[in-house]
Amino acid sequence: MELTGAEITIRCLQEEGVEYIFGYPGGAVLFIYDELFKQDKVKHILVRHEQAAVHAADGYARSTDKVGVALVTSGPGVTNAVTGIATAYLDSIPLVVISGQVPTSFIGEDAFQEVDAVGITRPCVKHNFLVKDPKDIASTLKKAFYLAKSGRPGPVLVDIPKDVSNQKAEFSYPATVNIRSYNPQVQGDIGQIKRAAQMLLEAKRPMVYAGGGVILSDASKQLTELVRLLGAPCTNTLMGLGGYPASDKQFVGMLGMHGTYEANFGMQNCDVLLAVGARFDDRVIGNVAHFNSVPRKIIHIDIDPASISKRVKVDVSIVGDVAHVLSDMLAVLNSSKQKPDANAQKNWWKQIDEWRGANSLSYKNSSEIIKPQYVIETLHKITHGDAFVVSDVGQHQMWAAQYYKFNQPRRWINSGGLGTMGFGLPAAMGVQLAHPGATVACVTGEGSIQMNIQELSTCKQYNVPIKIVALNNRYLGMVRQWQEFFHGNRYSHSYMDALPDFVKLAEAYGHVGILVEKPSDVEGALKEAFARKNDLVFLDFRTDSTENVYPMVPGGKGLSEVILAEDL
């Protein structure tokens, strides 16, 4: 049967089982919107800004194992979406973004609302397509979903000119997809896996460093089993939190710039390092030469060969999907007669416990002024450590990462690679829609929240009862901290003057707002907010504006060159 390009587009989404599409209409996508109107399988969420559409689709994807889908119009619709696309790209999140384009005969004429969407997004997508013929829509969307989700996931943009969405073509959704130039390696090389296993068995000071790849591969079960079997300490990157249960005694916390003392010293001093789905980011290994100055063997598991030996040279590389590789590695270890060296490990743990003794996450609570760390700890308590915590970017993000102990994967949702302020609220919206009834907290700052505050309106329209935990320090705190440490206390434009009354603002959008100014009110306010199951509650916590995030490994420094709270 012949269908229009717009009908085909929607049919494809239905075939893919798409539950939600986050979007914003405009001229170039009107035919597609018309088809959305005529059906009710794919639910459309009308955001208030295209950046938010992409972040919401992204939050949806991160908290499930599905592909997030967004729909935007040509020109400003696409350019608004770019920040969202780049955010997903840097964290390897599977998205399909459909953009309208001016009619094919207008392309290249500087037509109304024309931008080269494929060109503008090229450096921040896994792949993108311009569809020039309605008969190619189905196969292109099939490829888009497959590319987004397989291998190293990422966003894929499909640009559809207006005339293409209106012309007719025969529709059939391909059952399978084959791209001859794209064959991600899923299974790891067994020889390499055996070498790695042997190395780990012989280690005196083994360490496991696991990142976002574990979450993306849904491999926390295998990781947990492996870490227990090895008896090694395990650290997570910011993106890997929840990949290994934080309450387990073998967990040494997050590593990197704001990682714990024990995690960073463990990294620096281990003799065999197993890196799992983590990419030796510069916020993790700030100074590669300093890291390399201590000899150690490194095993690296990653589905993307380009992640391996990019910043840090490794000894054993295993290209493949974490879940598959770890299962094979477990099988090898379980069938080996050799066991990890218990004696050596005893000493290693003694050393680690010594580092733990530095208590690098301790802070001085106050009865006068609200400490941000205390808010997060209380949030953890009130939500039984079981909430989806979606964060914005800044100091509050680091405190949420440090003090909310994540025991499950896909519960910690944040923008790590691009560090996009404004991510939190729309992403939380996507998370809540994916998990109706679940507890969703959006930890944010007064700076970040204002970058997508308009989504309070979307939350009202679709009854999205997230809880906004704003750590309002009246500063672009993370910037202020750097200015304090590295720019002689010159707080150049990091003070947020003329802040809105967030309680009134929340109310203006039809939500509930609570102002919290005293430490003794923190717990009560959180309880009250989370008891309101059906309301969006905006908690405006006036926190200590001078508080800094510790520990801190300054940019370019080595992992052991850390600043602790007590140093200052």
Partner 1 sequence: MRHIISLLMENEAGALSRVAGLFSARGYNIESLTVAPTEDPTMSRMTIVTSGSDDVIEQINKQLNKLVDVVTVMDLTDGDHIERELMLVKVLATGESREELKRIADIFRGRIIDVSDKTYTIELTGAGSKLDSFLQAIDRGLILETVRTGASGIGRGDRILKL
- Closest contact distance (angstroms) between CB of 106 and partner 1 is 17
Q: For 464, phi and psi rounded to 5 degrees? A: -100, 100
> Of these partners, ligand TPP, partner 1, Mg ion, none, which one is at the site of residue 46 (CB under 5 to 8 Å by kind)?
none
3-state per-residue secondary structure call for 502-543: HHHHHHHCCCEEEEECCHHHHHHHHHHHHHCCCCCEEEEEEE
Q: Which ranges constitute the DSSP H helices of 231-358?
A: 261-269, 288-292, 322-334, 342-356
User: Which residues face 219 on adjacent strands?
Assistant: none
How far are the Cα atoms of 134, 272, 495 from residue 499, in angstroms, in the given order?
A: 49, 50, 10
284 binding ligand TPP? (CB under 6 A): no
Over the window 470 to 499, marking each residue x when it contacts Mg ion by CB under 5 A and - when it does not, the resulting string is ---x-x-x----------------------
Span from 54-62, 307-315, 385-393, 482-490 in contact with partner 1 (CB under 8 A)? 307-315
Among positions 304, 315, 517, 535, the unique one binding partner 1 when judged by CB under 8 A? 304
Q: Which stretch binds ligand FAD (CB under 6 A): 24-32, 231-239, 347-355, 528-536?
A: 231-239
The encoded tokens of residue 315 equal 């000894």
Shorter beta-carbon distance to ligand FAD: residue 233 or 277 = 277
Site for ligand TPP in 412-431 (CB under 6 A): 419-422
Choose which of 16, 35, 58, 302 interacts with ligand FAD (CB under 6 A). Answer: 302
Exactly one of 48, 55, 127, 410 binds partner 1 (CB under 8 A); that residue is 127
The catalytic site residues sit at 50, 112-113, 162, 478
* Residue 493 partner contact from Mg ion, ligand FAD, partner 1, none using kind-dependent CB cut-offs of 5 to 8 Å: none
Q: Estimate the share of the chain in helix, then strand, then coil, as percent rounded to the nearest 5.
A: 40, 15, 40
Partner whose footprint covers residue 476, from ligand FAD, ligand TPP, partner 1, none (CB < 5 to 8 Å by kind): ligand TPP
Stretch that binds ligand FAD, among 277-285, 336-344, 485-493, 498-506 (CB under 6 A): 277-285
Helix/strand/coil (H, E, C) string of 165-219?
Answer: HHCEEECCCCCCCCCCCCCCCCCCCHHHHHHHHHHHHHCCCEEEEECHHHHHCCC
Closest separation between CB of residue 154 and ligand TPP, Å? Answer: 20
Q: What type of residue is 271?
A: D
Q: Which residues contact 370 (CB under 8 A, 6 or more apart)?
A: 516, 517, 518, 519, 522, 541, 542, 543, 544
How many residues bind to ligand FAD according to rule CB under 6 A? 37
Total site size for partner 1, rule CB under 8 A: 18
Tokens read off for 6: 């717009």
Sole window of 225-233, 312-320, 363-371, 441-449 interacting with ligand TPP (rule: CB under 6 A): 441-449
How long, in residues, is the chain?
A: 568
How many residues interact with ligand TPP (rule CB under 6 A)?
Answer: 20
> What's the rounded Cα separation, in Å, for the pair 7 and 14?
11
Query: Could you give the string, one character per residue 383-412, with x where binding to ligand TPP holds by CB under 6 A and - elsewhere?
Result: ---------xxxxx----------------
Opening angle at CA 280, ends 276 and 281, nearest 5: 130
Stretch near Mg ion under the rule CB under 5 A, chosen from 110-118, 353-361, 417-425, 437-445? 437-445
Which of these, 115, 45, 59, 48, lies nearest to 87 by C-alpha position? 59
Under rule CB under 8 A, residue 341 binds partner 1: no
130 binds, among ligand TPP, ligand FAD, partner 1, none (CB under 5 to 8 A by kind): partner 1
108 near partner 1 (CB under 8 A): no
Binds 477: which of partner 1, ligand FAD, Mg ion, none (CB < 5-8 Å by kind):
Mg ion
If binding is defined by CB under 6 A, does position 502 make contact with ligand TPP? no
Furthest CA-CA distance within the chain: 74
DSSP letters for 213-267? HHHHTT-HHHHHHHHHHHT--EEE-GGGTTSS-TTSTTEEEE-STT--HHHHHHH
Whole-number Å distance between alpha carbons of 71 and 229? 46
| Interaction of residue 80 with ligand TPP, rule CB under 6 A | no
Contacts of residue 559, defined as CB under 8 A and 6 or more positions apart, other chains included, come to 255, 259, 264, 265, 267, 268, 285, 286, 290, 291, 553
Which residues make up the interface to ligand TPP (CB under 6 A)?
Answer: 392-396, 419-422, 445-448, 471, 473, 475-479
Which residues make up the interface to ligand FAD (CB under 6 A)?
Answer: 91-92, 152, 211-213, 216-217, 237-240, 254-259, 277-279, 281, 283-284, 302-304, 307, 321-322, 393, 397-398, 416-417, 419, 478
Which residues make up the interface to partner 1 (CB under 8 A)?
Answer: 118-119, 122-123, 126-127, 130, 147, 179-182, 304-306, 309-310, 313
Which residues make up the interface to Mg ion (CB under 5 A)?
Answer: 445-447, 473, 475, 477
